[in-house]
Amino acid sequence: MARIVMKFGGTSMAGTERIRRVARIVQRQQAAGHEVAVVVSAMAGETDRLVNFCREANPLYDPAEYDVVVASGEQVTSGLLAMHLQALGCKARSWLGWQLPIHTDDAHSKARIEGIDSEALLASMGAGEIAVIPGFQGLTADNRVTTLGRGGSDTSAVAVAAAVKADRCDIYTDVDGVYTTDPRIVAKARKLKNVTYEEMLELASVGSKVLQTRSVSLAMKEGVRVQVLSSFIDDDAPAADTIPGTMIVSDEELEGLDMERQLITGIAADKNEAKVTLTRIADRPGAVAAIFGPLAAANINVDMIIQNIAKDKGETDVTFTVPISDLARTQALLEERKDTIGYYRMLANSKVAKISVVGVGMRSHAGVASTMFRALADRGINIQAITTSEIKVSVLIDEDETELAVRVLHTAYGLDGE
Amino acid sequence: MARIVMKFGGTSMAGTERIRRVARIVQRQQAAGHEVAVVVSAMAGETDRLVNFCREANPLYDPAEYDVVVASGEQVTSGLLAMHLQALGCKARSWLGWQLPIHTDDAHSKARIEGIDSEALLASMGAGEIAVIPGFQGLTADNRVTTLGRGGSDTSAVAVAAAVKADRCDIYTDVDGVYTTDPRIVAKARKLKNVTYEEMLELASVGSKVLQTRSVSLAMKEGVRVQVLSSFIDDDAPAADTIPGTMIVSDEELEGLDMERQLITGIAADKNEAKVTLTRIADRPGAVAAIFGPLAAANINVDMIIQNIAKDKGETDVTFTVPISDLARTQALLEERKDTIGYYRMLANSKVAKISVVGVGMRSHAGVASTMFRALADRGINIQAITTSEIKVSVLIDEDETELAVRVLHTAYGLDGE
């Protein structure tokens, strides 16, 4: 017998038939002898509908009242799933964010979970009752509703799993696991049995939108074993234990599970970055700080940074990337500071893609980066920028070459399946 | 300066433009110097949508989970109205049922309010903040969400008004007050300045669907002055104080307000009753109990009862009315007990209407009933049954003659306006 937290997203909860299907998947886990808690999202489209009402009410809406409005979507689906489970003969009840409670800070609309009171929850689960918990929502110290920000339900699920010391947190999504790369780009992409938290963080943050990054960080911090699997499995399929998706585990657990692992775990492509270049900046101390200080203050997340070798006159070009959604603000901020920074021209290009190869194996192996550069060069793909971390090498290329580059690298690192 | 509770129904809260209009009406009351709390319903149609999800989930749904689901509709509108008020520059915040809390018993889906903690609410209102409170919802002693039953928001408003000792509870509806009768039937119907609680109870329970009966009972018990007025007043109209609807008050207050009041206050028609006749019942002790005991046990509300004079063989006919919605159940229950009761035939007729004349003035005047019988007889309208109370006389007639009877009586009692 294990204690399991299951999480279902908005697509899985969109309407009576789908919730009934979710109820059957949950029932199967309980029938297999497990203690079960379920974390649910709002019906697909519902949160957008509610957010829209808020924007119409007041473009500068009060985030505390926004939270009151949008938290209702998950309240509805948690009550409905409890009813569907009861219709199948299970004992079940909903536990709203304020009932447990799920304690958060008071950063309304993007709150962070500080702790979950698990005593009543554990007693209920221990008595054979399936606990249904709305994701996304929490409670401040002064008794007001909070939400965790879009996609926060993954984080809720991991936090509940940590609070009840679950053996596993199963995140049901519209994919059946984490792949070596996007199967829509590379038909030969393989589903991974295991990835480490750090690999998952790198893969998620560069575009494999399977899990919210924050939930993976929390799972890593709390040591929660997370499994990604499909909610569109056949109704008659056996319990999830026997049709595993991808398990996200610690480095240590991975070593025990998978000695013969590939050097590279996966390849991710991200088209959501834009490249900005400032030309002919004075090559002196403080110049770079004058650029990036204001961006940091404006909460703009700068990713890659390249400073070219200084040219004749003590001048240099600086190139960096920001999310496309922040490009306009970035340009406005730097335009304002043109004289302070002292650059000649600002160039922007959003037609770029960041391609990353990720794998914990590269820690102990040299040559990963040079394999990448050679494979891309052989196909005439030009590299505009490079960054590396301990378990990742990323390059910036022309957006039009994204799919080609992913396929070339997938083959170069021997990831192609049958 | 007064302390005022305002209540807006689902039609007034249906969508951004209408909520904005409500916000302006509320703002005007605050601008007039009043302390204001607002109680809101869910958007029109929303509760039906949620109830439907519950029925689809499980026809025998758990009322505790039903409450979790359907209470969300009022949560949404209370958050949105707070935002709209803030957009107009008012200070405002929502207070959910569990936040105040509004204490109820644990009769889920039809809970009764036991009390409201008003300390925080009064402090907030005293500081110039408009309190926005979702109607319809409450909290049990063991911290679970309840709802008060359909139309419960009127009751919430009156309960809040009692808790904060409001000077007035203004119920905004899609009519602009209580009329001597339905203006769609009698063009010369007049809007009443004042009615007493008891008159309103009689008028409401026989079909003037302006206010929920329960809310009027509560207002009478707690001595809350309730005003019914239209939410479709012009945006530029002055504050509600100067365009009164109908004020519902105690007998004592009425005497001070309206010495020269008509004998009869209003005339109501109700087509929602059905007539059942059991023929040739043995005229012996216990026969009537055998009929009405099972109906009471099944929570079927029997209204008029007529037992004919016993005929030759010690047999009698019994006729009574039940709500049309309970007719099928009534027939099934009595069919089952045919032998026990010992009747010959059961006849049912849902093509009947109950016409009532109501007025506190009739307490001290004889002849009200005979005026009614004579006026109806003069137009050839046949009376099938009669009941009376201290302030009401009701007759059962053929449904086709409803409008004619109401017009005849409106004239007969001198209620026609200009």
- Per-residue pLDDT tens digits for A243-268: 678 999 998 888 777 666 778 999 99
pLDDT per residue over A383-398, tens digit each? Answer: 998 888 889 999 999 9
The pLDDT value given to residue B238? 54
Question: B124 contacts in A (CB within 8 Å)?
Answer: none
* A10-19, A109-118, A295-304: least confident range: A295-304
DSSP state of B191: B
Q: What is the arithmetic mean of pLDDT over A275-301? A: 87
The distance of Cα B390 from the centroid of its chain, to the nearest Å, equals 20
As a whole number of angstroms, the distance between CA A163 and CA A167 comes to: 11
Digit-by-digit pLDDT tens for chain B (418 residues) are 899 999 999 999 999 999 999 999 999 999 999 999 999 999 999 999 999 999 999 999 999 999 999 999 999 999 999 999 999 999 999 999 999 999 999 999 999 999 999 999 999 999 999 999 999 999 999 999 999 987 799 999 999 999 999 999 999 988 888 899 988 899 999 999 999 999 998 887 665 677 888 999 999 999 999 999 987 765 555 555 556 789 999 988 887 776 667 789 999 999 999 999 999 988 777 788 889 999 999 889 898 888 877 666 778 889 999 999 999 999 999 999 999 898 999 999 999 999 999 998 887 777 888 999 999 999 999 999 888 888 999 999 999 999 999 999 999 999 998 7
Between these two residues, B121 and A282, which has the higher pLDDT value? Answer: B121
Q: Is some CB atom of chain A closer than 8 A to the CB atom of B88?
A: no
Peptide linkage before A294 cis (omega within 30 of 0): no
Q: Is some CB atom of chain B closer than 8 A to the CB atom of A62?
A: yes
- Same domain? For A218 and A308 the reply is no
Q: Convert A122-188 into a string of H (helix), E (strand) and C (coil).
A: HHHHHCCCEEEEECCEEECCCCCEEECCCCHHHHHHHHHHHHCCCCEEEEEECCCCCECCCCCCCCC
As a whole number of angstroms, the distance between CA B204 and CA B214 comes to: 10
CB spacing of A58 vs B145 below 8 angstroms: no
As a whole number of angstroms, the distance between CA A336 and CA B213 comes to: 65
CB spacing of A76 vs B72 below 8 angstroms: yes
CB spacing of A54 vs B82 below 8 angstroms: no
Residue A240 above 60 pLDDT? no
Looking at CA atoms only, how far is residue A103 from chain B in angstroms? 15
Peptide linkage before B101 cis (omega within 30 of 0): yes
Give chain B's end-to-end CA distance (angstroms, integer): 36
- Same domain? For B145 and B238 the reply is yes
Q: Is some CB atom of chain A closer than 8 A to the CB atom of B86?
A: yes
Does B8 show up as a binding residue in the annotation? Answer: yes
Between these two residues, B346 and A307, which has the higher pLDDT value? Answer: B346
DSSP state of B390: T
Q: Provide the pLDDT confidence category of residue A345 given band limits of 50, 70 and 90.
A: very high
As a whole number of angstroms, the distance between CA B200 and CA A346 comes to: 74
As a whole number of angstroms, the distance between CA B211 and CA B228 comes to: 8
- Same domain? For A57 and A184 the reply is yes
Question: B51 contacts in A (CB within 8 Å)?
Answer: none
Does A110 show up as a binding residue in the annotation? Answer: no
Residue ending a domain, choose from A233, A257, A281: A257
Q: What is the arithmetic mean of pLDDT over A203-223? A: 83
Q: Which of A24, A83, A95 to substitute to test the interface with B, most B CBs within 10 Å?
A: A83
* A271-285, A332-346, B200-214: least confident range: B200-214
CB spacing of B87 vs A144 below 8 angstroms: no
- Same domain? For B170 and B267 the reply is no
CB spacing of B57 vs A16 below 8 angstroms: yes
Q: Provide the pLDDT confidence category of residue A108 given band limits of 50, 70 and 90.
A: very high
- Same domain? For B299 and B221 the reply is no
Looking at CA atoms only, how far is residue B2 from chain A in angstroms? 27
- Domain harbouring A68, CATH code: 3.40.1160.10
Of residues B201, B228, B234, the one with CA closest to residue B217? B201
Looking at CA atoms only, how far is residue A118 from chain B in angstroms? 16
The pLDDT value given to residue B223? 95
- Same domain? For A95 and A206 the reply is yes
- Same domain? For B37 and B186 the reply is yes
pLDDT per residue over A82-94, tens digit each? Answer: 999 999 999 999 9
Does B179 show up as a binding residue in the annotation? Answer: yes
Residue A239 above 60 pLDDT? no
As a whole number of angstroms, the distance between CA B114 and CA A62 comes to: 32
User: Using an 8 Å Cβ cutoff, are A225 and A197 in contact?
Assistant: no
Domains held by chain A: number = 2
Q: Provide the pLDDT confidence category of residue A207 given band limits of 50, 70 and 90.
A: low
Question: B73 contacts in A (CB within 8 Å)?
Answer: 72
The pLDDT value given to residue B283? 76
The pLDDT value given to residue A366? 75
- Same domain? For A200 and A331 the reply is no
- Same domain? For B135 and B249 the reply is yes
Q: Is A288 left (phi over 0), alpha (psi -120 to 50) or beta?
A: alpha
Does B10 show up as a binding residue in the annotation? Answer: yes
| Sheet-wide strand order for B352-358 | B266-270, B352-358, B392-398, B385-389
In DSSP terms, A97 is beta-bridged to none
Nearest to A68 among B58, B68, B79 (CB): B79
The pLDDT value given to residue B367? 84
CB spacing of B79 vs A99 below 8 angstroms: no
Does A8 show up as a binding residue in the annotation? Answer: yes
- Domain of B266 in residue numbering reads as 262-418
CB spacing of A144 vs B99 below 8 angstroms: yes
The pLDDT value given to residue A306? 84
Q: Count how many pairs of residues, chain A against chain B, have C-beta atoms within 8 Å.
A: 111
CB spacing of A72 vs B72 below 8 angstroms: yes
Does B209 show up as a binding residue in the annotation? Answer: yes
The pLDDT value given to residue B311? 63
Does A392 show up as a binding residue in the annotation? Answer: no
- Domain harbouring B286, CATH code: 3.30.2130.10
Residue A285 above 80 pLDDT? no
Q: Provide the pLDDT confidence category of residue A160 given band limits of 50, 70 and 90.
A: very high
Q: Is B113 exposed, middle or buried (0-12, 13-18, 19+ CB in 10 A)?
A: buried
The pLDDT value given to residue B329? 93
Global confidence as pTM: 0.84
Residue at token pair 């920000």? A149
Residue A375 above 80 pLDDT? yes
| Sheet-wide strand order for A266-270 | A266-270, A352-358, A392-398, A385-389
Residue B225: its H or E element: none
The pLDDT value given to residue A184? 87
Looking at CA atoms only, how far is residue B93 from chain A in angstroms? 7
The pLDDT value given to residue B258? 65
The pLDDT value given to residue B231? 78
Residue A299 above 90 pLDDT? no
Q: Provide the pLDDT confidence category of residue A150 given band limits of 50, 70 and 90.
A: confident
CB spacing of B61 vs A83 below 8 angstroms: yes
Neighbours of A191 (CB within 10 A): 16
* A125-134, A197-206, B303-312: least confident range: B303-312
Looking at CA atoms only, how far is residue B11 from chain A in angstroms? 16
The pLDDT value given to residue A259? 61
Q: Is some CB atom of chain A closer than 8 A to the CB atom of B63?
A: no
As a whole number of angstroms, the distance between CA B177 and CA B154 comes to: 15
As a whole number of angstroms, the distance between CA B112 and CA B108 comes to: 9
Question: A22 contacts in B (CB within 8 Å)?
Answer: none
- Same domain? For A177 and A300 the reply is no
Q: What are phi and psi of A56, to 5 degrees?
A: -70, -35
Residue ending a domain, choose from A224, A257, A290: A257
Interface of B with A in 41-60 (CB under 8 A): 50, 53-54, 56-58, 60
The pLDDT value given to residue A46? 96
Q: Could you tell me the two tokens for A293?
A: 């200080």
- Same domain? For A34 and A155 the reply is yes
- Same domain? For A229 and A163 the reply is yes
The pLDDT value given to residue A364? 74
Q: Provide the pLDDT confidence category of residue A311 given band limits of 50, 70 and 90.
A: low
Residue ending a domain, choose from B256, B288, B323: B256
Nearest to A62 among B50, B66, B83 (CB): B83
